[in-house]
Amino acid sequence: MDLISTEDINQRIEVLEASHSVASRLLTLIERDDIGAREVATVASADPVLVQRIMRMANSAYYGTGGRVRELHAGIAILGFDAVKSLALTSLVEGSGTITPQDWDHSITSAVAAGEVARMIGADQQQAFSLALLHDIGEAVIASLD
Q: Where is pLDDT greater, at 91 or 96?
A: 91
What pLDDT is attached to residue 11? 60
* Fold entry, domain 6-145: Hypothetical protein af1432 (1.10.3210)
pTM of the predicted structure, to 2 decimals: 0.61
What sign results for the dihedral spanned by CA atoms 50, 87, 19, 25? Answer: positive
- For the stretch 12-28, pLDDT in tens is 555 455 577 888 889 89
Q: Is the pLDDT of residue 42 over 60?
A: yes
Q: 3-state DSSP helix/strand/coil percent for the chain, to nearest 5?
A: 70, 0, 30
Query: For the chain, what are the domain ranges?
Result: 6-145
What percent of the chain has a predicted confidence (pLDDT) above 70? 75
Is the Cβ–Cβ distance between 82 and 95 less than 8 Å?
A: no
* Neighbour-count burial of 37, counting CB atoms closer than 10 A to its CB (0-12 exposed, 13-18 middle, 19+ buried): buried
What pLDDT is attached to residue 67? 84
Is the Cβ–Cβ distance between 49 and 94 less than 8 Å?
A: no
What pLDDT is attached to residue 1? 46
